[in-house]
Amino acid sequence: MKNDGTEPAEGLSAKGPGGPAGSAPGGLERAAETPRRAGRTMREQVVRGIAIAPGIAIGPVYDTTEIPAEAPRRGIAPAEVEAERQRLADAVALSRKQIGKLKTRLGILPEEAQEELAPLLDAYVLMLGNSRLLRGARKRIESGLVAAETAVGDEAEAIAALIMAAKDDDRAGLKRRADEVREIARRLTRNLTATPFRSLKDVPEGAILVAEELTPADAALLDPARIAGVATEEGGADGHTAIMLRALGIPSVLGCVGLTGSVTRGDRAVLDGSAGTIVLRPGEKALEKGKEALAAFAKERQKLAKLRRLPAVTTDGEAVELQANLEIPAELPLIAQAGAQGIGLLRTEFLFMNREDLPDEEAQTLAYAQVLEAMGGDPVTIRVLDWGGEKDMEALSQGIAPTHAGPNPALGLRGLRLLLKRPELLEAQFAAILRVADRGSTRILLPLVTNPSEVKQAREIYERVARRLRRKGVHLPEKLPELGCMIETPGAALAADAIALEADFFAIGTNDLAMYTLAVDRAEAEVSHLYDPLHPAVLRLMQFATEAALRLRMPVSVCGEMAGNPRLVPLLLGLGIRTLSMNASAIPRVKQMVRALDIGDCARFARRVMEQSDPQRIHELVMNFGTGGKD
């Protein structure tokens, strides 16, 4: 079967979370002379690149290349214009379908991978709409009398050239934007010429994948359970592909100059994703060293696995609740494996994605019931629909949500604002959750709250739905599930004392709180370096909201990326947080940190941090906590 670029795809591998541990310039080293084979050197070679994702992989190399799309420049006769326009329209439709399949696959990827790939796929979808690329291509077909693939290529290069000509010091960011245009043009061209995409389905289990380059879409198709490691000739630590590989937890080294010309499929290799090296055809000494590193990694993983059954309790007996964030029900086994104490954030957007109609009350009831039953009585916090203009949901575009995201979707009709404007959406979700509330411990979370009146309106709808269900004879718990608020804007944090009077609990969403506080979109390369959740303004807003909740003895949790960073746990506990919700894979290391801490030490540390006004000093304190370093 021909691969359309959306197919998922004997060795050893040890993988670990985290970012690159260092980097080195790409290049080749030789050692341990061995026989030659078919004109290619058979001796051991060390290829150095950029450390991307930590872990050790030992296994056979599987090299893969992508057949280039043959699209020579071609003119057309005036009578062929309409046919070429139709060819382009068909290629666009097929490309949209392929991107849709990739978006569906997002649900089984780790949260970090989803956050990296989702905006990129959204950008691709926009370019496949009424974009400058397609308008220009259609115009070139008509006025230039060229074939569709020629028109697409020419227009993409013209746009890329304009992007690169911009007066901006961030050349890497400009190149990423230009490459995004070229990538969608590449997909259109392959579809126009019926050229198959790179297939990864035949990569043998345990192999180390070697390629000249991998696109983010390629990375999304990798199966971490099958691929031992990844090494490419091109790529850097800050690109979309690198972030994807780290999120997937596949030991990876990019930027290995000369790699593909030095390997033959089946060659044995030892890849070290922390050191940024891949040893080709390792000699006895290198192989033994690799096995020792592999064993050390495996031992560390086993150590973390043993924590699953141990409680998250500090050395002085303070219990901390560690919960998991859930994107789709398919992730439930990962939550069980991690030893989570429930689901702290069930995102319900999966119910609305990749469908033409809205999920009705019955469909939602079934989905929530499956999650609650799988959790076996452990608490589940369900966040109602958090739609934003940057999320492509066809079901909401049919007269429900704005037809376009607007110039700044982050500040537009989204989250609870949309639900209050279209209360039928909120009523359906409330009703579905209430109908399954007696099957487990359930709470409901409202997104993007900015003032108390919004919570009042939502509670009125909530209680009205409950009364309607009771009149229909639906059994509901005597005490309805608690209704809580996401604290993810400065306005909500500063009004937390007033909002707390209307809510039953708080969940601090540190990702959006940092974004709105610092006016920084992490997806924008030009300003992403300014995103800093440890900025004193962000920390003070978190402290204000936490103290507002604690004064009323109201539960408060953190459910952003900060919760899953072991380095930040002492600070969060010191601020008074006792519930953390994170990507399931982060729970073991966070639990390991919790079990090594004393609450008194954390409180003193937090007071010291909150006295600081310099973000760099705060980072130094956080990094040095517990290391004996100067603080």
pLDDT above 70 coverage of the chain, percent: 85
pLDDT-derived band at 146 (thresholds 50, 70, 90) equals very high
Return the pLDDT at 100: 87
CA distances from 330 to 107, 193, 334, 485 (A): 8, 36, 9, 26
488 is in an annotated binding site: yes
Q: Which range among 119-133, 179-193, 211-225, 329-343 has the greatest average pLDDT?
A: 179-193
Q: Give yes or no for a contact between 110 and 583, defined as CB atoms under 8 angstroms apart.
A: yes
Numbers of helices and strands, H then E, in the chain: 21, 17
Return the pLDDT at 9: 47
Question: Rounded CA gap, 481 and 504, in Å?
Answer: 9
Return the pLDDT at 14: 62
Token pair 């590193």: residue: 293
Comparing 351 with 522, which gets the higher pLDDT? Answer: 351
Q: Which range among 12-21, 219-228, 340-349 has the greatest average pLDDT?
A: 340-349
pLDDT at residue 573 tops 70: yes
Token pair 């954030």: residue: 345
CA-based nearest residue to 230, from 212, 238, 240: 212
73 is in an annotated binding site: no
Return the pLDDT at 33: 38
522 is in an annotated binding site: yes
Return the pLDDT at 399: 53
Query: Which tokens sit at 56?
Result: 């050790």
Query: Which tokens sit at 74?
Result: 């071609």
Chain length of the chain: 631
Return the pLDDT at 30: 42
Return the pLDDT at 168: 58
Return the pLDDT at 111: 63
pLDDT-derived band at 394 (thresholds 50, 70, 90) equals low
pLDDT-derived band at 36 (thresholds 50, 70, 90) equals very low
pLDDT digits (tens, 9 = 90+) for 165-223: 876 555 666 777 788 898 899 899 999 999 888 778 788 899 999 998 888 888 878 88
pLDDT at residue 304 tops 60: yes
Return the pLDDT at 334: 72
135 is in an annotated binding site: no
pLDDT, average across residues 17-39: 42
Token pair 């030095």: residue: 262
Q: What is the mean pLDDT of the chain?
A: 85
Active site (catalytic) residues? 240, 559
Return the pLDDT at 318: 96
pLDDT-derived band at 35 (thresholds 50, 70, 90) equals very low
Question: Rounded CA gap, 211 and 234, in Å?
Answer: 9
pTM here is 0.62
Question: Rounded CA gap, 624 and 631, in Å?
Answer: 6
88: Cβ contacts below 8 Å, ≥ 6 apart: 134, 137, 138, 141, 148, 151, 152, 188, 192
Return the pLDDT at 589: 87
Comparing 160 with 308, which gets the higher pLDDT? Answer: 160
CA-based nearest residue to 446, from 434, 429, 432: 429
Comparing 592 with 11, which gets the higher pLDDT? Answer: 592
Phi, psi of 544, deg, nearest 5:
-60, -45
Least confident of 395-399, 512-516, 623-627: 395-399
63 is in an annotated binding site: no
pLDDT above 90 coverage of the chain, percent: 54
pLDDT, average across residues 441-453: 95
Return the pLDDT at 297: 82
Structural domains present in the chain: 45-66+199-301 (3.50.30.10), 78-193 (1.10.274.10), 309-398+409-624 (3.20.20.60)
Return the pLDDT at 166: 73
Question: 1 burial class (0-12, 13-18, 19+ CB within 10 angstroms)?
Answer: exposed
36 is in an annotated binding site: no
Least confident of 3-12, 165-174, 291-300, 508-517: 3-12
Chain mean position to CA 36 = 44
Least confident of 186-190, 226-230, 237-241: 237-241
pLDDT at residue 458 tops 70: yes
Return the pLDDT at 524: 65
pLDDT, average across residues 370-390: 87
pLDDT at residue 381 tops 80: yes
Question: Rounded CA gap, 74 and 409, in Å?
Answer: 40
